[in-house]
């Protein structure tokens, strides 16, 4: 018989009250203001900006201004940093706090080769001294004005040495005062190949006691979220690939936790979410031509949840001009496909989106 843990219905990170124990992860190239806004409006209680390099936070210019622009409606929001130098890491963390980010997350998980080659992200799991120096630098710079968290994988590889380093970094971060940790139970060497080892999260849960622990990995539907919460005992989960083109997942999680049947989005709801995404993206990027590429990536993902997903994707990938976007969306997500009827979400409706880059740590 499968053992399950009691699910905590209310998540908090340090002094930041979050609520629903399912939040939007930092997704490189995806979790910009537009994605976060749409996710919040569909039930996400907390969202993390896409991972940014510490150097870019400190480098004056248009990109810095975009990173440090936190609107009033975008709270609570986390800022995730990646880098290799403790001093600049701390300086960048301080700038994020000054800008209004509610939590600061340190990325020790990204497995992409170009990141590892620069001794950032998941590479730091091989170097506990530098990793913990970064943690201390960030804590010193933030000075308690925002909770500091870490995002980790379960090691650089499957070797005993890698596992010892994981525990050294996790324990050291907790001892220094981080408020929470998110653990993705794949190794850096695995990247996204093979299933994530959820049983490792149970091991971490037992090891850290009451310390706030979040899990990630293979969360493609609301059912996966509830399964991870129950099977591992984590306090919350960070959703990455599973919420691209699917902001409805947060309300579905809430329904399952309340004992209700989750519903699939109607075409009208998908259409409205995309229109809202475009509305927020236009001023954020400043020009329709610059806004289209990031929005188009999301729109194509929405097609995976369409009643006819293969056809929908074929239509959506043809969008090449800003002026064609909403017209094509209206055609693809027309009411005739479901007549506006609510349909219950079932496990078999889940999809496993492909991932080709450092979208989540």
Question: Which residues does the annotation mark as catalytic?
Answer: 110
Residue 310: how many CB atoms within 10 A of its CB?
9
315-267-219 Cα angle (round to 5): 85
Distances from the Cα of 258 to the Cα of 73, 182, 261, angstroms: 26, 24, 9
The answer to whether 357 and 28 are in contact (CB under 8 A) is yes
Write out the DSSP string of 316-358. HTT--SHHHHHHHHHHHT-GGGTTT--EE--GGG-------S-
| E strand segments, the chain | 11-13, 16-19, 22-24, 47-48, 52-53, 77-82, 103-108, 148-153, 180-184, 212-215, 236-239, 263-264, 343-344
What three-state secondary structure class fits 290? helix
> Which among 173, 222, 323 is positioned nearest to 183, based on CA atoms?
173
> Which among 208, 195, 254, 191 is positioned nearest to 43, based on CA atoms?
254
d(CA 46, CA 307): 29
| Structural tokens at position 128 | 């506990």
Do you know the residue count of the chain?
A: 361
């Amino acid at each position: 018989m499968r053992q399950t843990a009691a699910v905590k219905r209310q998540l908090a990170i340090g002094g930041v009250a979050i609520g629903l124990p399912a939040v939007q992860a930092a997704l490189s190239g995806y979790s910009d203001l537009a994605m976060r806004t749409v996710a919040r409006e569909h039930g996400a209680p907390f969202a993390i900006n896409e991972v940014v390099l510490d150097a870019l936070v400190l480098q004056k210019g248009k990109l810095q201004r975009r990173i440090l622009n936190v609107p009033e409606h975008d709270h609570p929001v986390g800022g995730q940093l990646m880098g290799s130098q403790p001093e600049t890491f701390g300086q960048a963390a301080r700038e994020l706090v000054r800008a209004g980010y509610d939590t600061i997350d340190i990325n020790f998980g990204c497995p992409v080769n170009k990141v590892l080659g620069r001794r950032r992200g998941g590479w730091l799991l091989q170097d506990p001294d530098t990793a913990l120096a970064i943690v201390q630098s960030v804590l010193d710079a933030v000075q308690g004005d925002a909770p500091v968290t870490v995002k980790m994988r379960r090691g650089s590889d499957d070797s005993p040495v890698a596992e010892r380093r994981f525990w050294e970094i996790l324990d050291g971060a907790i001892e220094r005062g981080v408020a929470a940790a998110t653990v993705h139970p794949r190794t850096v060497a695995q990247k996204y190949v093979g299933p994530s080892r959820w049983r490792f999260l149970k091991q971490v849960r037992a090891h850290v006691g009451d310390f706030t622990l979040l899990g990630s990995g293979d969360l493609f539907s609301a059912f996966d979220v509830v399964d991870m919460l129950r099977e591992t005992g984590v306090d919350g989960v960070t959703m990455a690939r599973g919420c691209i083109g699917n902001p409805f997942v947060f309300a579905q999680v809430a329904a399952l936790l309340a004992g209700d049947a989750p519903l699939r989005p109607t075409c009208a709801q998908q259409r409205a979410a995309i229109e809202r995404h475009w509305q927020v993206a236009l001023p954020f990027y400043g020009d329709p031509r610059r806004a289209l590429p990031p929005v188009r990536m999301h729109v194509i993902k929405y097609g995976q949840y369409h009643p006819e997903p293969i056809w929908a994707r074929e239509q959506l990938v043809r969008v090449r001009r800003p002026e064609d976007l909403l017209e094509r969306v209206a055609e693809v997500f027309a009411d005739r496909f479901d007549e506006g009827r609510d349909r219950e979400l079932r496990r078999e409706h889940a999809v496993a989106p492909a991932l080709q880059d450092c979208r989540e740590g």
